[in-house]
Amino acid sequence: MTTYAFWNNKGGTGKTSLCFQALTLYAHEHPDERILVLDVCPQANLSELLYGGLAFRGSEVLLARQGEPTRRTIGGYFEMRLSSPFTPPTIVAADYISKPSQFNQSIPDNIDLIAGDPLLELQATAMSALANTSIPTTNAWLGVIDWVRNLLEAVVDDYDTVFIDTNPSFSMYTQVAISSADRLVLPVMADDSSRRAIQNAFSLVYGLKLPSDIYTQYAFATRLREAGRDLPRVHVIAKNRLTQYMGAASAYAAVLHSIDRDVDALMLSTPEMFTFGKVNEGIVEIRDFQTAGVVAQARGCPLYAQKPGKLDIMGHRVQVKADYLANCVADARKLVAAL
């Protein structure tokens, strides 16, 4: 079972949109594989998309899953773990899993979902407190960090590939999610804040270039390594929302090239952090999906299943151009091919 986490500490990089398009296209192109999706984000936007989007009652379906006696969400699972934080109890994963294709016909049938939940924000405080508990002979921090890992171990024979969407933060539940992943997909945009975000991501996950040695002993990477856990490896850097006609040759080229240089330097100093050996092997350029993306988001419809032409979106007629849609699908396929 291979686990991909889509994450960037910076918001607005199109992380959830890319995760949605990548996992649905991947499932479509690999119909014999079973796909599990974990939405470890309190906004639960990925779950809403999978359940049908704004136009097809995705929010209502999500609220119904959150309202079940045992919340059919990642929050429901974490709620159970709060009473057994350090020793994994018997985990009945089916209590938290739903099948989006039952609510959204655009979603491949081989996708299962553990939905997001706003409870994560409340749970993060309790999780952090538990992780800092002093218990003789027990690594409390690791006990909490392993919650998602424990969940995935319970379903390891049931799924081939796992996609995890995360919050643009490094809160406790985000660390729990990232620590369970084999591979990281880092979306970035063509602006200098994205360049800084890449640098921050490597500091947070891998403990690189920390401001002083004081932070090293508390660093996420230090604590995972001391516990004998592997860190996820960077697998794809997705340069997202490039313009259709100008792409990497645009006015943003200097920033995009500087990201390449930063990654190249990191690969020379710490090659073990990457699954690829050359920068161009790990970078995928994605155009701005623009209207096609807006329609896909509203309808909870993957780009590959989207139809061109005029479509009704919440009472508004919206034009999706066939040539532009085809280009967007081609870019989504590049990302999936990189996986």
What does the pLDDT read at residue 193? Answer: 66
Q: Give the CA-trace dihedral at 184, 189, 193, 194, to 10 degrees.
A: 20
CB 333 within 8 A of CB 85: no
Q: Name the CA radius of gyration of the chain, rounded.
A: 20
What sign has the CA pseudo-torsion 2, 281, 329, 299?
positive
Token representation of residue 141? 């921090």
CB 266 within 8 A of CB 258: no
Closest CA to 23 of 8, 39, 9: 39
Q: Characterize the bridge pairing of strands 309-313 and 316-320.
A: antiparallel
Which DSSP string do the residues of 167-222 spell out, in sequence order? Answer: -SS--HHHHHHHHT-SEEEEEE-SSHHHHHHHHHHHHHHH-TT-SSGGGGGG-HHH
Angle between helices 290-299 and 322-338 (to 10 degrees): 80
DSSP category for residue 162: E
What sign has the CA pseudo-torsion 333, 3, 60, 125?
negative
What does the pLDDT read at residue 323? Answer: 78
Which residues contact residue 67 at a Cβ distance below 8 angstroms, ignoring those fewer than 6 apart?
none
What does the pLDDT read at residue 135? Answer: 80
CB 284 within 8 A of CB 339: no
Instruction: Delineate the domains of the chain, giving CATH numbers in brackets.
Output: 2-338 (3.40.50.300)
What is the pLDDT tens value at each position of the chain, 339 positions in all? 999 999 987 777 778 989 999 999 999 999 999 999 999 999 999 999 999 988 789 999 999 999 999 999 999 999 999 999 998 899 999 999 999 999 999 999 999 999 999 999 999 999 999 998 888 877 899 999 999 999 999 999 999 999 999 988 889 999 999 999 999 999 887 665 666 777 788 888 888 776 667 777 788 888 899 888 999 999 999 887 665 434 454 556 666 677 778 788 888 888 888 999 888 888 898 887 777 777 888 888 999 988 876 666 655 667 677 878 888 899 899 999 999
CB 37 within 8 A of CB 46: yes
Which residues contact residue 176 at a Cβ distance below 8 angstroms, ignoring those fewer than 6 apart?
40, 127, 144, 145, 146, 147, 148
d(CA 98, CA 100): 6
**Per residue in 204-233, is it b (16+ CB within 10 Å) or e — as a string?**
bbbbbeeeeeeeeeebbbebbeeeeeebbe
d(CA 115, CA 75): 8
